[in-house]
Structures are given as structure tokens and as C-alpha cells.
Amino acid sequence: MASYSFLGVTVSFIFIITYAFANDTLHFPKDFLLGTATASYQIEGAWNESGKGESIWDEYTHNRPNFIRDHSTGDVACDSYHKYKEDVQLLSNLKVDFYRFSISWPRVLPTGYANVINREGINYYKNLINELLAKGIEPFVTLYHWDHPEIFEKMGGWTNEMMVEWISDYARVIFKELGPKVKYFITINEAAVFCDEGYGRNDKAPGKNLGSTGKYLCMHNALKAHAKIYHIYDEEFRKPGDKIGIDAACSGAIAKHLNDTTAIDLHFQFHCGWAVHPIFSKTGDYPEVMKTHIAENSRLDGYPRSLLPKFSPTWVNYIKGTSDFFALNHYTSVRVETVPREEGQRWYQFSGVKESLDPSWPGSASSWLKVVPQGFREIINKIAKEYDNPPLYIMENGFSDECCTSDHSRISYLHSYIKAMLLAIYEDGCNVKGYTIWSFLDNFEWLAGYTERFGLVYVNFTDSQRTRTPKLSFNWYKHIIETRKLTSTFDSPTVINVA
Ligand code: GAL
């Protein structure tokens, strides 16, 4: 409130500022959803209990321990299969609006196929959902977070087009069994990541190392699978108000050289657009620049056809528009610059863009994760601009450290990223509807094993009870959720005081 004295009359002005830093505070929009997330292989454990079948991550961790930094597995992980009630109680203490978790396909269909439904597996998820709903927490269910039945990998996994049918059969079982109590579904998590790292390279299971051909083929089938699952839901299961969408990982890009906007756009189209342009753009299909670059490079490299597979017009139309929202996972940014093609090299994965990290960016426990909040605001704007401002749910955002519950660096990261997101909403008009912290619990961080911790809750992995202790960031986020606002400066709590 401001007061002016004029001719002896005091006039008070109340400035109603709906969003901006009134008193240094940004408020979340009305109906904005705040939550946290996990994935089945990373937390459940019970890898061979109660009738569960073998998954590609079971196979990978058991047979290639040397590829996991601490030689660990997800056999027990956080033991959430047994401790889900304690987990939901913690989520309830945190006061989240929703909890994003994923279903283990081989836990519900041990043969992989929909011929045998494992009732114990289904009941685990039914119990989890009932427990969440009883505490007023909305389940946000991911069907596929990187972990399919090993039997399908033996037949080529995502390089086999039959995956489209197999995963659709699985999705139908889940929709029938769990759909009545679930409003939000995500079909596939980060196809670009598992296609590149699991099929193109050996940085994730199944570690196929097939180069560009494998990664492009994987995405091609994953997009078809996503669209088919969407149509099944739409035609057979959708209840009023339900939402189903796909999740994409899009990192930010900061131009290394002033005004190199070409580098930013190329980076976006090759990393993010690859997975989402076929769904969210008006034209459908892969980004034009990707099609032309890869065709030209394939020709120069002596291939008889482009390494990027082609969709028929029927598939282009079938895939286009199959998402009710854009689910974005975002952690960090890279510095980008355009570079000319040089003899004997793949022209930086065909894009013509070279990536690097700015040494001045603060780091985390993960070599790839640098703190660049402006990149978050920019990628939100880029998605809004490219795809007509779709409803956007941030489905993962978070920071890794190596230990401990006094996680001030995590709070600082989250504060700066949430602020960047709120500015994208209020100052840039982006349509962001929800925000999710990765992760609720410290968990099995893929090839980093248990050496990188992302949780709001500390898990003691050397204790057979897998004891959970909320970190300072848990308290901090709880306060944000309760007050629905972010102050411009943050006071990192010093006391762990959780009910
Ligand atoms: C994401 C992935 C999560 C988690 C996170 C942190 O790409 O979906 O499962 O591991 O990265 O690295």
C-alpha cells in the first residue's frame, strides 16, 4: 500500500498486483498443480517377487555390473514395493497435489504379453492409488518409464515394430484395471533419451550401441506406439476431464556466439522437436530441417537412403495431435554453436551444432547437470512459440548431490528454476499448468547407481530398512506448496522439522 498527502488529504493507493514481485513474492496461478515424481525401476525393488517377470533393467544390472558406477542394481532400491504406505504418508506430509509414478510392465504382465495378468502386481498399484486418493493426492501415472519385459528385447525391443502392438496390449490392461481411478496418464517417458542412450549408445539399458540407425528406428516405433495408446484411451476409456499425454526431455540451449540463433533452433529441432514435432506441430512428421539434414548427410556418407525413417501420410495424421498436454522434463542447458561439416565426422549427429558447457555455470553431482535457470525460461518460451502455447506440465525438474539432508544447493537450484518458470508464465504468457520435482526419494539413478541423489527425502541404502529422512528441501517445498508463493529471496531452512 502506498500513501500520498495532497492538499492535506491523504490518499491511499492499493496496488493490486496479481502476479509480479509484490512484496518480493511471486504467487502460483490458481489451480496450478504441484507434485513430485519417481519411476518403478528406480524405487520399487522386489525385482523377482510376487510373480514379477524380468525387465531389461534387471537384465542389464545383473549381467553388466561394470557399467553401473557402484555396481549396484535396482533389486531392492528404496523397497517401495513393501514401503508404499510409508511413502504415501510422507507425500501427504509434503502436501503435494499429485504424485507421478510409473508402472512396471513385467510386474503386471510377467510374460510381457497380455495373456497372463499378475493379480498381485495389479493389486500393488491399486493399493497405491487407493492410498493416495484417500489422502487427497492425485495419481499421475506413467505407463512406460524405460523398463520393458526382457523377452521383447530379445526380439529387438524398440527396433521391432511389434513393440507398438505389445505395449498397446499392456496399456489396455492398465486402462481397464486402473483407469477408473486415474485422471492423468503419461504414455512414454523421454523417448529421445532411451532411444539415443539405450539404442544409439550404451548409456542406458538395453545398451544396444546401434548408432544413428538404431536410435532413429527406436523413436519411429515409440511415436507410433504413443499414438496408438492415445487413440485406444480416447476411443475406449476416456472419462470426462481425463488427460493423457507424452513426456519429452528438452534441455535448454544458450548460444555460444552472440546472435547464433540458428544454433539454438537446430539444437531444439534435433533434440526436442525430433520427439514432439510429429505430435504437437500443425504439419506433423519430423521437423523439416531434420529430414533434409539427415537425408543430405546420409547421401554424403554413401547410404542409399536417409537414416531417418519416413512416416507414411497415414501415420503422420494418426500421430498428429495425440497429446492433451505437453509433459516437459527439464534439468539443464548446454552452450551451442553452429559448425561446418568436416570430412570423416558425423557433423555432430547431423545437426551441425556443437555442444559444450560453460565453465562458469555452477554444477551438481551429475557431470551433465549445470545450473542454468535462464535456459528453463527460454525452453518454455520456445515450446510455447513452436506449438501454439500448449498446456504444459513440468513433469521433472531437479538437482543431484552426493549426500546428506542439509541440501542447500538443491533449494537454491529449485528456487531459481521455479522463479524462471513463474516469470515464463507471468511475463511471457506461457501456459504452464503444473510443476514436478524429481525426485520424491533418493533412488537408483541408472548408470550412476546410488552415487547421485535427487530426492527430497534421504534414503539410507546401507540400512536393510531403507530408512527415509526428509531433507531441508522437503520442508522448503512443503512451505511453497502450503503458501502457494515464492519469495524473491529465499531463506534456506536450517532445521529439519517435519511432522
Ligand atoms: C530423467 C529420467 C529420470 C531421472 C532423471 C535424473 O531423464 O526420466 O528417471 O533419472 O532423469 O537423471
Domain boundaries, the chain: 9-486
pLDDT digit string, tens, across residues 301-335: 899 999 999 999 999 999 999 999 999 999 999 99
Residue 258, CA atoms < 13 Å, CB-side half-sphere:
0
Atom of ligand 1 at shortest range from CA of 366: 12
pLDDT of residue 343: 66
CA of 123 to the centre of ligand 1 (A): 26
Distances (CA, A) of 162 to 7, 165, 212, 430: 82, 5, 20, 38
Closest residue by CA, ligand 1 atom 9: 39
Residue 297: CB within 6 Å of ligand 1? no
Nearest to 454 by CA among 479, 467, 436, 466: 436
Nearest to 178 by CA among 124, 223, 230: 124
79 lines ligand 1 (CB under 6 A): no
Inter-residue contact 251 to 271 (CB < 8 Å)? yes
Contact 350, 297 (CB under 8 A): yes
Q: Point out the ligand 1 atom lying closest to the alpha carbon of residue 190.
A: 8
pLDDT at 17: 34
The Å distance, Cα 314 to ligand 1 centre, comes to 33
pTM of the model: 0.94
Choosing among 3.40.50.10490, 3.20.20.80, 3.30.1330.60, 3.40.50.200, the CATH entry for 9-486 is 3.20.20.80
- Whether 329 lines ligand 1, by a CB cut-off of 6 Å, is yes
Residues of the chain with pLDDT under 50: 1-21, 495-499
Distance, in Å, from the CA atom of 96 to the CA atom of 288, rounded to the nearest integer, reads: 40
Task: Supply the pLDDT for residue 18.
Answer: 41
Helices (H), 160-312: 163-178, 191-194, 211-232, 261-268, 274-280, 288-300
For residue 296, the CA-to-ligand 1 centroid distance in Å is 33
**Distance from the alpha carbon of residue 78 to the mean position of ligand 1, in angstroms:** 16
N-term to C-term CA, the chain: 36
Amino acid identity, position 345: Q
Q: Each residue of 16-45: pLDDT tens digit?
A: 334 444 557 999 999 999 999 999 999 999
Cell, residue 127? 493399493
Which of 68, 146, 250, 445 has the most ligand 1 atoms within 8 A of CB, as the residue to mutate?
Answer: 445
Cβ proximity of 106 and 120 under 8 Å:
no
